[in-house]
Amino acid sequence: MVMRYRACSVVLLLAAWIWTCGHAADTTFTVATYNLENYLLETVGTRQAKPPAARAKNRELIRMLNPDVLCVQEIGLAPALAELRASLKAEGLDYPHSEHVSGWDTNISVGVLSRFPIVARRSHTNLSYLLQGRRFSVSRGFAEVDIRVNPQYTFTLMTAHLKSRRQVGSGNEADMREQEARLLREQIEAVFRRNPNANLVVCGDLNDTKDSVPIRTILGQGRSALVDTRPAERNGDNTPSDNPRWDPRNITWTHYYGREDSYQRIDYLLVSPGMAREWQPEGTYVLAVPNWGVASDHRPIIATFVARER
């Protein structure tokens, strides 16, 4: 009788251990990207310091998302990211790990805030390209870090802010953005050369539409083509497209351009084929809240992933 009781206990303990392991394996994590629109603490040139009320609204939207990993664009110098990080911590969101990346444009940068350890850093700050016989530097650097979610799951994260569609005297903005996109794709290919099955997220303000040359370049082709998570508003839209070549008619815009009075999707969250297996579409969306424009001319997007290899 005692031996039977002990055997049953062992079976129950084993079952509990298997359930616990399975439950832990189903843990999810989130990655968000957000162009903060000139999150500057001091005025620099034509870029004005961001008012405290607008910075507070940025943080309010971030708190609503509550991401585990946050990528930001149009953050100022390193003290601006430190201020954002400290302010979020005071408001209940703690990101003990961070990366700040500047490029040729020393006024605005890109950054990463993470609840998980950053175990490798390969950010790119001095990339350049030739265009019509002239050499140009990438305006903003490309952040590239490896993030360890748990002992069994690590992924590579890249975030970028490509050349805007504002014309400049030094060159054609579309050509400049295309060249920056090609350089970003080179860094993506380098990840796949190291590991063809890499878990990779590429996100940020890519400043163009999905059918454009820069976005098609970044997405790539074949076995290393990235998957577009295409976050949309959580407003109840669930009707598939009647044209198989097109995406559904749900609301995905991320940026308002005042001069044109237009709304477009120019912020992206792209994933590698390997990481697409862990992607959770139901946890992927554009944040739609009242008065979002107080914070930025962009809306943040977020995607959810299972923290285990599939």
19 inside domain: no
Task: Answer yes or no: is 2 within a domain.
Answer: no
SS3 assignment, position 196: coil
pLDDT number for residue 97: 98
253: β partners? none
CB of 57 closer than 8 Å to CB of 51: no
Beta strands in the chain (DSSP E): 28-39, 69-75, 97-101, 109-114, 118-121, 128-131, 134-137, 143-150, 153-161, 200-205, 227-228, 232-233, 255-257, 262-264, 267-271, 279-286, 301-306
Residue type, 2: V
Residue 8 lies in a domain: no
Question: Does any domain span residue 22?
Answer: no
**Residue 103 included in any domain:** yes
Q: Is residue 163 part of a domain?
A: yes
Given a cut of 60, is residue 228 above it in pLDDT?
A: yes
> What is the structure's pLDDT at 167?
72
12 in any annotated domain: no
Q: What is the pLDDT of residue 45?
A: 84
- Our measurement of the distance from residue 230's CA atom to the centroid of its chain's CA atoms, rounded to an integer in Å, reads 12
Lowest mean pLDDT among 22-31, 246-255, 277-286: 22-31
**Residues 106-149 pLDDT 10s:** 899 999 999 999 999 999 999 999 999 999 999 999 999 999 99
Q: For residue 5, is it within any domain?
A: no
Give the pLDDT confidence of 181-209 residue by residue, as tens digits: 999 999 999 999 999 999 999 999 999 99
Between 162 and 19, whose confidence is greater? 162
Residue 110 neighbours by CB under 8 Å, 6+ apart: 71, 72, 73, 75, 100, 101, 140, 141, 142, 143, 159, 160, 161, 204
Domains: count for the chain: 1
> CA–CA separation, 257 vs 284, rounded Å?
24
pLDDT > 80? residue 252: yes
Residue 37, pLDDT above cutoff 60? yes
**What is the domain range of residue 214?**
27-235+243-306
User: Do strands 200-205 and 153-161 pair parallel, antiparallel, or not at all (unpaired)?
Assistant: parallel
Banded pLDDT at 169 (limits 50, 70, 90): low
Alpha-carbon separation of residue 105 from 38, 53, 71, 74 (angstroms): 13, 26, 18, 10
CATH code for position 76: 3.60.10.10
Identify whether the C-beta of residue 157 lies closer than 8 Å to the C-beta of residue 164: no
By C-alpha distance, which of 161, 163, 165 is closest to 264?
165
